[in-house]
Amino acid sequence: MSNRNASSPHPVSHQSYGWTVTFAGTGINLALGVLYAWSIISKQINKEWGWNETQTALPYSVAIAVFALMMVPAGRLQDKFGPRLVATLGGIFCGAGFIVAGLGQSLMGMIIGFGILAGTGIGCGYASATPAAVKWFPPARTGLIAGLVVAGFGLASVYIAPLANYLLGSFGIQKSFMILGGSFLVVVVLLSQLLKNPPAGYKARGNPGNPHSGVKKKGATPAPVAADYDWHEMIRTPQFYLLWVMFVFASGAGLMIIGKLAKIVDLQAGIKAGFIFVALLAVGNAGGRIVAGVLSDKIGRTWTMFIVFVFQAVLMFMLRGLDTYGALFLASVLIGFNYGANLSVFPSAVKDYFGMKNFGLNYGLVFTAWGVGGILGPVLSGWIFDTSKNFNNAYLIASLCLLIAAGLTFMTGAPKEKAEGKILHKAANKAT
């Protein structure tokens, strides 16, 4: 059977095409990052359709959950068939989802269109972009390349937030969804044609990194483990569960703010131009992905996680008392920075710990944690607001969860068990 995942009709022997794949992936994520402009859309839905905060959180949370769940089959498909096909399907599903959401104004229609169909498309596109790009570069650049690709997703709100604000004001909710859906379909499908994996036998030039780093020392420069883990092996390691729990807490805190930011600045400071703060958070989000990716290449994945978790916990605690334009300006950028950092550090850690061969599927399984956090954070904050008319308790819960995640970094490091293809069979061996 031919390996469609590795072959290419035009073999490439150097990394120049790797940059084409990297920036095509960034462009795809720039379109799919519309998810982060939901606070602008939900605020308009509050105003125009009269939905409460819990109702407006549902399509967003469903989209996050479907996005995260789709990362598993989409990761598997791109490992097997290559990224081009899967990313193309992503563009089709995302565009169709927005068009369906624009056909009516019911909660169920929005859940099906934006939540299920667009969520599926976002998962397919996102799952295809990062693995394809990092395969073209040596391990010492994993954090940088992953950060650049996922930065597009975080940066999307910089243009989507003001664009959505303009469209909603000029055309209303339904036509705005139709316009956005058609645009995303065309852009993502076209850029997907540039994605491909390196040819069979390709070896990236450059510093391969220290093969022993990231195993015994928490802050060592990261590098891949010697063996490739399949998903059955990965889920039998404690590292998988530690990464998963930390990702739930970190993503839940960030997505809670992203989904409610326009409401937060209006509530706490009377600022109506929420799209400005959504764009500011997006700048921080994109910057955090690149900076943390580079930093984690230097000081290690878990030290970078620790710094990010503690910093975010402090910001969430302080957010209760922020009620001025300047303070909320700075908080939006920094919260976005810390949240975005997770989206480059976690995939880099998965590649370091479990290898490159099954990276798409393995990261898809870890990424389900992002979906769980995306459900718990926004829905919890919406419920708290509907019962107390503020988000203060939601901030405190998020801060506590982030501190727990910071503590877990001291228990997390690369697996040591797969030296001879056996993983955590100690109990079984003792029994026999």
CATH number, domain containing residue 297 = 1.20.1250.20
pLDDT beyond 70 at 432 = no
Orientation angle between helical segments 83-101 and 53-81, nearest 10 degrees: 160
Please say whether the beta carbons of 376 and 252 come within 8 A: yes
Structural domain includes residue 3: no
pLDDT beyond 90 at 119 = yes
Structural domain includes residue 205: no
- pLDDT classification of 206: cutoffs 50, 70, 90: low
Report percent pLDDT > 70 for the chain: 88
Contacts (Cβ under 8 Å, ≥6 apart) of 131: 75, 78, 79, 83, 359, 360, 363
- pLDDT classification of 49: cutoffs 50, 70, 90: confident
How far is 150 from 226, CA to CA, in rounded Å? 26
Instruction: Note the pLDDT of residue 405.
Output: 96
Structural domain includes residue 7: no
| DSSP one-letter string for 105-121 | --HHHHIIIIIIIIHHH
Total number of domains constituting the chain: 1
Q: Which of 46-50, 188-192, 285-289, 366-370 has the lowest mean pLDDT?
A: 46-50
Instruction: Note the pLDDT of residue 13.
Output: 47
Shortest CA distance to 39 belongs to which of 250, 251, 253, 276? 276
Residue range 384-412: mean pLDDT, rounded:
92
Contacts (Cβ under 8 Å, ≥6 apart) of 138: 204, 205, 206, 207, 208, 209
Structural domain includes residue 427: no
Structural domain includes residue 133: yes
Per the structure, the complete domain to which residue 74 belongs is given by 16-198+212-417
Phi, psi angle pair for 224, to nearest 5°: -70, 150
Residue range 141-160: mean pLDDT, rounded:
83
Structural domain includes residue 21: yes
Instruction: Note the pLDDT of residue 240.
Output: 95
Instruction: Note the pLDDT of residue 78.
Output: 85
Please say whether the beta carbons of 353 and 415 come within 8 A: yes
Q: What share of the chain is helix, strand, coil (3-state, %, to 5)?
A: 75, 0, 25
Instruction: Note the pLDDT of residue 15.
Output: 60
Mean pLDDT for the chain?
A: 83
Structural domain includes residue 122: yes
pTM of the model: 0.74
Please state, in angstroms and as integers, the Cα–Cα distance from residue 170 to each residue in 167, 278, 282, 426, following that order.
Answer: 5, 19, 23, 65
Residue with more model confidence, 257 or 205: 257
Q: Using CB atoms within 10 A of its CB, is residue 50 exposed (0-12), middle (13-18) or buried (19+)?
A: exposed
Instruction: Note the pLDDT of residue 224.
Output: 43
Residue range 358-377: mean pLDDT, rounded:
87
Structural domain includes residue 303: yes
